Amino acid sequence: MGGLRRYLELQAQAKTGLTAGVVVWALLAVAFGIVTFAFVLATAFIFLAERYDPLIAALALTGLFLLITLIALFLSWRARRQTIEAARLELVARRQAMWLDPKLLGGAMQVGRAVGWRRAAPLLALGILAIGIGLPLLRGGRPESDDSEAEEELRRAA
């Protein structure tokens, strides 16, 4: 059951790019954006009240918080892109490893022993044919691409 949960988690990450790190950076960006707005308002007040030394201090703090906000937004965006790329690469790897699943191979061995290999061979061939036809249909009719091409496409997209 853990494999199914991990698969669904990877599918969600590949589509949204959300992880705890992305949420934390986004919350930091929002928090520092609010602080920046407060300092902009304080700066305007000080400018109107006293046009000298307190204004310079307020502008320095506003610039500092604005810089922190921009850095947090950039790091959030970068973490999201890395999450999407890692999830896509792991999904490609899982697709390749599906045929090497021990449960699948063990089930095929049990069917072969129970039915007999002479009777099981045509059933196995029929199953492989059905999977070969069914998988492209489940993927929306897209043809199966070479795995190296898929990895190269992911690198170009990032």
Q: What is the mean pLDDT of residues 98-108?
A: 68
Q: Does 111 or 84 have the greater pLDDT score? A: 84
Q: Which stretch of DSSP H or E encloses residue 136? A: helix 117-138
Give the pLDDT of residue 114: 79
Backbone angles phi, psi at 24, to 5 degrees: -60, -45
Mean pLDDT of the chain: 76
Q: Does 86 or 54 have the greater pLDDT score? A: 86
Same domain, 83 and 124: no
Q: Which domain does 135 fall in, by range? A: 101-158
Where among 100, 121, 138 does a domain terminate?
100
Q: What is the mean pLDDT of residues 18-25?
A: 83
Same domain, 46 and 77: yes
Same domain, 116 and 48: no
Residue 84 near residue 13 (C-beta atoms within 8 A): yes
Same domain, 93 and 34: yes
Rounded Cα–Cα distance for residues 27 and 48 (Å): 32
Q: pLDDT digits over 112-132, tens only?
A: 777 777 777 777 777 777 777
Give the pLDDT of residue 19: 78
The count of structural domains within the chain is 2
Name the residue with tokens 């069914």.
134
Rg for the chain (alpha carbons), in Å?
28
Tokens of 120: 């099981």
Same domain, 14 and 84: yes
Quick one: what percent of the chain has pLDDT higher than 90? 14
Same domain, 110 and 36: no
Q: What is the mean pLDDT of residues 126-146?
A: 65
pTM of the model: 0.41
Q: What is the mean pLDDT of residues 79-88?
A: 88
Give the pLDDT of residue 17: 77
Q: Above 80 in pLDDT, residue 26? A: yes
Where among 73, 100, 127 does a domain terminate?
100
Same domain, 75 and 107: no
Same domain, 83 and 118: no
Q: Above 90 in pLDDT, residue 102? A: no
